[in-house]
Amino acid sequence: MKIKEILQLEGNEQKINLKGWVRTRRGSKHVSFIALNDGSTINSIQVVAEAINCEEELVKQITTGSCISVNGKLVSSKGSGQAVEILAKTIEILGSADEYPLQPKKHSLEFLRGKAHLRFRTNTFSAVFRLRHTLTFAVHKFFNDKGFFNLHTPIITGTDAEGAGEIFQITNLDLENLPKNEEGKIDFSADFFGSKTNLTVSGQLEAELGALALGQVYTFGPTFRAENSNTSRHLSEFWMIEPEVAFADLNENIDLAEEFLKYCIQYCIEHNAEDLRFLDARMEEEESKLKKEERSEMSLLERLQFVIENNFVRLTYREAIDVLRNSKPNKKKKFQYPINGFGDDLKSEHERYLVENKYKKPVIITDYPKGIKAFYMRMNEDGETVRAMDILFPTIGEIVGGSQREERLDKLQERMEEMDVCQKELWWYLETRKFGTCTHSGFGLGFERLIMFVTGMKNIRDVIPFPRTPQNAEF
Ligand code: ATP
Ligand code: MN
């Protein structure tokens, strides 16, 4: 039986078998108390092993990290701290754990990153990964309930949708002995796919093709970016959710994103209350070590509730620039990148100012200058800005990036020319604008950034089981 189910029962001496990993064992010669966890819940169950039932030699091997199977009966607990406990009749050691590297004490997250194969067994990481599952489920449920179709877009592709050039090339050419063409350049026609290919940076372009037939689709898959930014918010391999909706304009796109984010957070509150309470307490403890001015005003649970209950602030890029230009930190030259005016890119310090100081709410910025956004975003009447939107979250920064797509063939081609995007390679994308084009919009949500927000974890490496970052692909 799983501990999650057992803990919901009353102790009526019913016979139970349970298996799990030992968190701690303490006690005396006559009786041992084992905290056992099987991952089904944040809560461990207390197993009482009395010397009359369990041999001393065996009990000695029940150390932190070992795996055991217990036959016993469920009784109401005499001790405080738990309602029920297991009185063991027999215990079998399935796997001992000599020199187990995790002590029954608090380890730093950095230390545990080096032990990613074992960190699932800590309370913090088990809570994080149960929540990651719940969020995955919430994503599919949200879109399924709305009549969206999940589309699996390719992981291997010939395109760089973002045009940022941060791609991982893939090849099966012999790198020691590359085939060359007449010009002396590498001959990719001899490569596996007969052309240059890379890992996808976004499923959007393909999702658009789906939306222009199925109406509303979403992707949920791995995404790869070779950006050499060693930040706490960037991974080289991350998961992205990309809905794409025919007939939706930018405002409908924003409404969808706001509803979606609130739904996912609410779903976690309803389904993982205990994990969230644990992480809430964890965050409070972490924050108590900080200086007063560095502590957040809200606890984790308060912050989640706050996001669900409040409308996100919506403003245009031009408005945001005005606010930032006239802000205290800008005037006092506190920003690393000063804001001078239209065209300036918003860096994370500016995003944080808007969200955490100025509005104290999630902020949605729309209508960015065309120069700092991708080629596929719909041009506004002004010829200078595009129908883009970014959603900025407290502590996270950008969590969603989206836009209304340029559905007019001539305008799209114009932009591709200006931005040096190869039209020949994207002939199939352009054909959707030739054959039955229509208004459509979509966005990309970085899944790990949402998990960071929900769990309160501050480093993106701690919300994905095995993070891939520059110089690190272990495990
Ligand atoms: P950023 O400015 O934070 O690098 P971006 O503008 O490159 O983000 P988009 O191309 O709009 O991001 O991607 C959509 C979403 O994917 C982002 O809003 C973010 O949540 C997430 N994202 C982007 N890059 C990464 C990354 N390297 N690791 C994890 N999530 C990412
Ligand atoms: Mn980026």
Q: Locate the ligand 1 atom nearest the alpha carbon of residue 449 and give its number.
A: 20
Ranking 156-170, 186-200, 209-223, 455-469 by mean pLDDT, the lowest is 156-170
- Closest of 407, 331, 404 to residue 368, by C-alpha: 404
Cβ count near 145 (within 10 Å): 9
| 449 C-beta closer than 6 A to ligand 1 | yes
User: Is pLDDT of 355 > 80?
Assistant: yes
Mean pLDDT of the region 233-240: 97
Confidence of residue 65 (pLDDT cuts 50, 70, 90): very high
pLDDT of residue 54: 72
Q: 156: Cβ–Cβ under 8 A, 6 or more apart, which residues?
A: 170, 193, 197, 198, 199, 200
Confidence of residue 104 (pLDDT cuts 50, 70, 90): confident
- Closest of 251, 228, 240 to residue 399, by C-alpha: 240
Mean pLDDT of the region 41-51: 95
User: Is pLDDT of 109 > 90?
Assistant: yes
User: Is pLDDT of 55 > 90?
Assistant: no
Q: Report which listed range, 78-82, 279-283, 346-350, is most confident.
A: 279-283
pLDDT of residue 84: 97
Ranking 53-57, 114-118, 144-148, 416-420 by mean pLDDT, the lowest is 53-57
| Cα pseudo-dihedral 403, 408, 412, 414, rounded to 10 | -130
- Closest of 19, 464, 426, 41 to residue 209, by C-alpha: 426
DSSP character string of 402-423? EEEB---HHHHHHHHHHTT--T
| 401 C-beta closer than 6 A to ligand 1 | yes
Question: What whole-number distance in Å separates Cα of residue 102 and Cα of residue 473?
Answer: 22
Mean pLDDT of the region 199-227: 97
User: Is pLDDT of 31 > 80?
Assistant: yes
pLDDT of residue 157: 95
pLDDT mean across residues, the chain? 95
Asked if 83 contacts 77 with a C-beta cutoff of 8 angstroms, the reply is yes
- CA 101 – ligand 1 centroid, Å: 35
| 241 C-beta closer than 6 A to ligand 1 | no
Confidence of residue 179 (pLDDT cuts 50, 70, 90): very high
Q: Whose CA is nearest to atom 4 of ligand 1?
A: 234
Q: Which of 166, 219, 240 to mutate to test the pocket of ligand 1 (most atoms within 8 A of CB)?
A: 240
Q: Which of 396, 445, 449, 451 to mutate to test the pocket of ligand 1 (most atoms within 8 A of CB)?
A: 449
- CA 205 – ligand 2 centroid, Å: 17
Mean pLDDT of the region 27-35: 92
User: Is pLDDT of 459 > 90?
Assistant: yes
pLDDT of residue 308: 97
pLDDT of residue 165: 76
pLDDT tens-digit map of 139-173: 999 999 999 999 999 999 998 777 777 999 999 99
pLDDT tens-digit map of 394-405: 989 999 999 999
pTM equals: 0.96
Confidence of residue 341 (pLDDT cuts 50, 70, 90): very high
Q: The tokens 């209508």 sit on which residue?
A: 367
User: Is pLDDT of 254 > 80?
Assistant: yes
| Cα pseudo-dihedral 100, 104, 110, 115, rounded to 10 | 20
pLDDT of residue 228: 83
- CA 255 – ligand 2 centroid, Å: 23
Side chain identity at residue 152, one-letter code: H
pLDDT tens-digit map of 376-390: 999 999 999 999 999
Percent of the chain residues topping a pLDDT of 70: 100
Ranking 50-64, 253-267, 350-364 by mean pLDDT, the lowest is 50-64
Question: What whole-number distance in Å separates Cα of residue 387 and Cα of residue 440?
Answer: 11
Q: Which of 398, 405, 451 to mutate to test the pocket of ligand 1 (most atoms within 8 A of CB)?
A: 398
pLDDT of residue 132: 98
Confidence of residue 80 (pLDDT cuts 50, 70, 90): confident
Phi, psi (rounded to 5 degrees) for 275? -65, -40
| 238 C-beta closer than 6 A to ligand 1 | yes
Side chain identity at residue 409, one-letter code: L
pLDDT of residue 170: 96
Q: Locate the ligand 1 atom nearest the alpha carbon of residue 229 and give its number.
A: 27
Q: 465: Cβ–Cβ under 8 A, 6 or more apart, which residues?
A: 116, 120, 129
Q: Whose CA is nearest to atom 9 of ligand 1?
A: 401
User: Is pLDDT of 416 > 80?
Assistant: yes
- CA 335 – ligand 1 centroid, Å: 22
User: Is pLDDT of 52 > 80?
Assistant: no
Question: What whole-number distance in Å separates Cα of residue 366 and Cα of residue 363?
Answer: 10
Confidence of residue 49 (pLDDT cuts 50, 70, 90): very high
| 448 C-beta closer than 6 A to ligand 1 | yes
pLDDT of residue 327: 96
Q: Locate the ligand 1 atom nearest the alpha carbon of residue 227 and give its number.
A: 27
Q: Whose CA is nearest to atom 5 of ligand 1?
A: 401
